[in-house]
Structure 1
């Protein structure tokens, strides 16, 4: 018995998932190439998504994700509850520091940014809302990896510790010790490990049951800010968000 091919819904998602933070605008040819769908099929699906408002056509004929998809994304319980709890604290940090303030969650073997505040004069960074960060070399990633357990650590090591800059830790034992330090002091400090010229401090966000549900970070231009001077405000914000999510103060180290 032959295996049935992908259904219409699956193919529609293939088209939507062809878009990414790095490729926000795609032509029909781009979509055909990235999905592997026949041109006629991709064209038909694109027009269906246009009619539903899930895609929008730009003046140059290319396509972007439509507002209706964004509106649906805001309804996701995991993201909505976390963002609602975190936004006031992120706004306060942003107003006080005038730097990038980011919130990320664990998804598979990467961190995904679900919110970010940025000042016009802040360092230009590659990360965007919906974008992904490596667990072994970013501030948010190290916080999440440090609390993810030995299995996640081994999976990350087995996938290979990519060197993004000369400062990236690529030795598993050095990384293991670094993550132990993150757990013991309660925050991560990363200096130019993912991007040259970018440093960050990140703290865990706990939910009910003492589970780490996210990480909160501040990203600055290297050498412009004393990272240790940022950490108390960031730790306080992380604890505030955690309390709003049901964490009990003093119930974790």
Structure 2
């Protein structure tokens, strides 16, 4: 379903009516309410869910009641939380589950070798979704979270997915508009195209304070059997002391190892673009 991410992180999904104007569907409103839940929150009030989703409070109350009957949400003393059925559905998504299971030993080794935060992310339209995050004590505060999403063009993992993924990912990012996460974020399509060409040439991405102040990272693509990026790995740390030359070989080796686990045969990059 089409959606847009506002600057405050809330999600707007839309459908087209017969006249061509955007209007939210009932399913879209329910999905917007579910997308309003965030990691680390024991519960969210009705008023806050309505604000985050943009759904009118009476409609939000009714839809949450229906979602409760399906165990997608649970009512709490102060509002709502995600229900057991939402957890169960997440466990049966095969591609992400298999990818996580295959990646975990590699991510653990990368985390222990570099002593930096590592990520595993996959594309979802103009965004990336983080499937795994192994943090390190004393690292910078990061906007990423397990199960969370970020605009692809503002992150290292997103840049390699745009560079090595199918063309429709870049089309989706440009169609939505290149939002600014920090003053350093790339918001000009022409400049983004230049950066992606550089990433394809060197085989990895470097990102300095484009996703959050004080944060830098390097990322490499995880390739599927056809040589197209299906995921990305990254190493993230403080921008003031981050040394790409030290960690680039590690993240590229890790991404290559996971690519081979997933069945990539090592076709030349030019042959799959």
Category of TM-score, reference length = shorter chain: 0.7 to 0.9
1:231 aligns with 2:248: yes
Compute the RMSD of aligned alpha carbons: 2.9
State the secondary structure of the residue aligned to 1:214: strand
1:98 aligns with 2:115: yes
Q: Give distance in 1, aligned partners of 2:140 and 2:110.
A: 16
Match of 1:54 in 2: 72
Question: Cα deviations across residues 138-158 of structure 1 (Å, max 9, x unaligned)?
Answer: 101100111245554354334
Once the two structures are overlaid, the 10-residue window that deviates more, 220-229 or 199-208, is 220-229
Question: Cα deviations across residues 20-71 of structure 1 (Å, max 9, x unaligned)?
Answer: 45977321233455363563x644554554465432444x522221344223
Given candidates 9, 15, 28, the residue that maps to 2:46 is 28
Match of 1:212 in 2: 229
Extract unaligned runs of 5+ from structure 2: 1-17, 19-23
May I ask how many residue pairs the two structures share in their alignment? 247
**1:162 Cα shift?**
2.8
| Cα distance change on mapping 1:231 and 1:105 into 2, 3 Å | same
Q: Which has the higher contact order (CA 8 A, sep 6+)?
A: 1
State the secondary structure of the residue aligned to 1:136: helix
Given candidates 160, 174, 189, the residue that maps to 2:206 is 189
Q: Give distance in 1, aligned partners of 2:174 and 2:69.
A: 45
Q: Give distance in 2, aligned partners of 1:216 and 1:147.
A: 13
Q: Give distance in 2, aligned partners of 1:22 and 1:133.
A: 17
**1:114 Cα shift?**
1.3
**1:191 Cα shift?**
0.9
Given candidates 134, 137, 144, the residue that maps to 1:120 is 137
1:39-50 alignment to 2 at 5 Å? 39=58, 42-43=60-61, 45-47=63-65, 49-50=67-68
